[in-house]
Amino acid sequence: MTSNQPTQASPPLHGRALIESPLDNKGTAFTEQERIDFGLTGLLPPHVETLQEQSQRAYEAFCMKQSEIEKHIYLRQLQDENETLFYRLMLDHIEEMMPIVYTPVVGAACEQFSHIYRRPRGIFVSYPERHLMDGVLDNLIEDVDVIVVTDGERILGLGDQGAGGMGIPIGKLALYTLCGGIHPGKTLPILLDLGTNNQERLDDPMYIGWRHERIKGKEYDEFIESFVASVKRRFPDVLLQWEDFASVDSEPILERYRDQLCTFNDDIQGTAAVTTGTILAAVAAVGGDLADQRIVMLGAGSAGFGICSQLKRTMLRQGLSEEQAQQRFYILDVDGLIHDGRSNLSAVEKSLAQSAANLTDWDCDVTGAISFADVVHNAKPTVLVGATGHAGAFPEEIIREMAQHVEQPIIFPLSNPTSRVEATPAEILEWTEGRALIATGSPFDPVEYAGKTHAIAQCNNSYVFPAMGLGIRASGATRVSDEMFAVAAIALQEKSPALEDPTASLLPALKDIRDVARHIAVAVASEAQAQGLAEKTSPEELEKRIDQTIWSPIYAPLTRSN
Ligand SMILES: NC(=O)C1=CN([C@@H]2O[C@H](COP(=O)(O)OP(=O)(O)OC[C@H]3O[C@@H](n4cnc5c(N)ncnc54)[C@H](OP(=O)(O)O)[C@@H]3O)[C@@H](O)[C@H]2O)C=CC1
Ligand SMILES: CC(=O)C(=O)O
Ligand SMILES: [Mg+2]
């Protein structure tokens, strides 16, 4: 295992090529000797600066941008010019800048991708060029540790963004480096362009993607199959993360490929781990047990089923029977409560369906669709989670009803970006007289209610996927198991400030995210070893490998090769 600290290009670049290589560029921080040795004299202003001084100037420039999207464009441009400075700046201002590079602003960046496009990053594989798939990957000379791939069909809660969905793999991989310390030169964003059904994009003369309705069915499956085959051939050890696929595709793709290569679906499994960890923290803060909770999940897609499946596995490990665990869940799709009296349930729906026999004494008509209001009125949930992508999906009267039956309701509106939140934290606190424990998908400022300040945790898979990447790459794990996500959830919960102080945020502050990621990575890597998915080492050796894998934004001295 070698150190993951910055290394110079081999053979070293020279002159303008060096300045234009974002992984090697130091800008005004090239030393006088480096300027002489590498043909940079005169290409840079004479004053030599430190990385910290550069970070201060970059922060000034960032602050001069008037709108959030301009700030996003500025940071993306900096990333494409000087990655070390970009990550130094991001780490110096993580609370302020993560929402610009990631949710919520990355949502607007995807919608406007064709208009703000500057330089290529990552690769686009389009359906008409599918026969060139192998060649596209062969053109990449770099080693790749982590790929994030999307087909752009379900971008956050914003729906089909076609090729504009590329903003998501770019943003997620920036977090792999920022939070998980994965070397930025070993990350690869990929957009699979299978067309778009977004008419606004198709009608936009600036649209950069393939102007065609989406390819689906057999042709879609064959395309994905040849993509996975190309990845396996070119990067046999890579970690492949699926991101923001429509729910009809996300689950089948995960099931088809999870035993073929080192891969996971972040919306299903990453979201499940962060939400399980945050619910465990909330339940501990109110002094209860997970096994006693009644959980209503609004939204039965990738995130909703991922979360409930993981919570159910956790309950089983805590000693509940299959049937007991299943009856803790009330999952709703657009047709109302999912119960075993409904026809055409999928395998995952059946595994989490409420028993129709339990509904016979409910105070509502249970012969047709059973509404959200009826479920909350009758089930009296202690936990309510939203993963619908629909703003306002938690109406006031339903939240007030929930708060009548439980002293401290746990309410997580998880949809992204901010514009899609099911109810804002301020609304939820108002409707629950300040009693709710809240976590959201996108960041929210603390809320004042009745003289008390409520911290709002950001329950986002960004607490988990970068740490998974770190643990997997450092241990050399060959597969990603559900148990690895289960231990990630527990490790995250262990870092909850609410364990010490029940009024504190349910999740650690972003400024501590690298430490939290390291803690989760140790747990994930140890689990991979325990399951025989990674080479067994001593705990000390494993921690050493994790520390050696973590890349930090510092400039390596450049030396001339003789
Ligand atoms: N905080 C986090 O870390 C994460 C948050 N998310 C967010 O969760 C949301 C959903 O993501 P995902 O599960 O992948 O998307 P999916 O499209 O897979 O699932 C959403 C589901 O919610 C259903 N739905 C929509 N409105 C309602 C409603 N009012 N009542 C009941 N069901 C409804 C949809 O039905 P239909 O298709 O029929 O409209 C769909 O089945 C997105 O906004 C996403 O950004 C996702 C992953 C991680
Ligand atoms: C966070 C995330 O993965 C999503 O909203 O899709
Ligand atoms: Mg996602």
Instruction: Give 77-94 pLDDT, tens digit per residue.
Output: 999 999 999 999 999 999
The per-residue pLDDT for 474 is 98
Please name the residue that has the structure tokens 């330089």.
119
Instruction: Give 247-266 pLDDT, tens digit per residue.
Output: 999 999 999 999 999 999 99
Q: Which helix (H) or strand (E) holds 523?
A: helix 513-530
* CA 283 to ligand 2 center in whole angstroms: 24
**Ligand 2 within 6 A of CB of 267:** yes
Is the CB of residue 174 less than 8 Å from the CB of residue 75? no
Is the CB of residue 463 less than 8 Å from the CB of residue 491? no
**Ligand 1 within 6 A of CB of 270:** no
- What mean pLDDT, rounded, does the chain reach? 96
Residue nearest to atom 6 of ligand 2 (CA): 156
The per-residue pLDDT for 457 is 98
Peptide bond into 104 cis (omega under 30): yes
142 pLDDT band, cuts 50/70/90, is confident
What is the residue-wise DSSP string for 92-149?
Answer: HTHHHHHHHHSTTHHHHHHHTHHHH--S--SEEEEGGGGGGHHHHHHT--S--SEEEE
Instruction: Give 266-321 pLDDT, tens digit per residue.
Output: 999 999 999 999 999 999 999 999 999 999 999 999 999 999 999 999 999 999 99
* CA 559 to ligand 1 center in whole angstroms: 52
> pTM value?
0.97
Mean pLDDT of all residues in 476-490: 98
* CA 33 to ligand 3 center in whole angstroms: 45
User: In which order are the strands placed within the sheet that holds 410-413?
Assistant: 336-337, 329-333, 295-298, 383-386, 410-413, 437-440, 457-458
Catalytic site includes residue 495? no
Question: Which two three-digit tokens encode residue 38?
Answer: 């590498």
**Which ligand neighbours the alpha carbon of 420 most closely?**
1
Instruction: Give 208-229 pLDDT, tens digit per residue.
Output: 999 999 999 999 999 999 999 9
**Ligand 2 within 6 A of CB of 416:** yes
pLDDT at 549 exceeding the cut of 60: yes
**Ligand 2 within 6 A of CB of 278:** no
**Ligand 2 within 6 A of CB of 24:** no
Binding residues for a divalent metal cation: 243-244, 267
Residue nearest to atom 19 of ligand 1 (CA): 301
Catalytic site includes residue 172? yes
Q: For 13-36, what is the HEC assignment?
A: CCHHHHHCCCCCCCHHHCCHHHHH
Mean pLDDT of all residues in 162-182: 98
Binding residues for (S)-malate: 154, 416, 460
Q: How far is CA 198 from the centre of its chain?
A: 23
The per-residue pLDDT for 316 is 96
CA angle 45, 46, 47 (to 5 degrees): 100
Query: What protein residues have CB closer than 5 angstroms to ion ligand 3?
Result: 243-244, 267
Instruction: Give 414-430 pLDDT, tens digit per residue.
Output: 999 999 999 999 999 99
The per-residue pLDDT for 2 is 44
The answer to whether the Cα torsion of 321, 327, 331, 335 is positive or negative is positive
* CA 184 to ligand 3 center in whole angstroms: 20
Instruction: Give 449-482 pLDDT, tens digit per residue.
Output: 999 999 999 999 999 999 999 999 999 999 999 9
**Ligand 2 within 6 A of CB of 418:** no
